[in-house]
Amino acid sequence: MMELSILQHDKDQHPQKIGISEVVARIRDDHWPPGYQPVLLVQGVFEGGTRQEDIVSMSGFSVVSFKADPALVEAACDDPHTLLAFTSADTLYILYRYEVDTGYEIRLQRQFYKKALLYGNYYYRQQL
């Protein structure tokens, strides 16, 4: 199961584990519990806080964001590397996967995430 963490709002310090399929369903249906202003922590599953040291497993997801534009949204949705694309206010978010090597300890997996994030940003800026 592909999992990441979610916060109820930007001041929340108690991440909850959530499956990507539930995130997609909630975005699609725009169905969030009352008072929710969700913040997805796509990097991984966090326990006990939101610091890098609180990541207990990497999700294999990363995200890039752009100012929303209809042509850009369509191009992002058509890109084969896009797992999920959605807009919020005037921002387009693109969720994509990268390969996590679980043979490495979590500290090294977190360091690799930075490379995956930078490469994803570079890739989408070139493609879109």
Q: What is the pLDDT of residues 69-110, one digit of tens each?
A: 999 999 999 999 999 998 888 999 999 999 999 999 999 999
Domain boundaries of the chain, sorted by first residue: 3-127
φ, ψ at 85 (rounded to 5°): -130, 130
Q: What percent of the chain has pLDDT over 90?
A: 84
Task: Report whether pLDDT(125) > 80.
Answer: yes
Look up tokens 């929303």; give the residue.
Answer: 68
Confidence (pTM): 0.87
Q: What percent of the chain has pLDDT over 70?
A: 99
* pLDDT at residue 56, as a whole number: 96
Task: Report whether pLDDT(1) > 80.
Answer: no
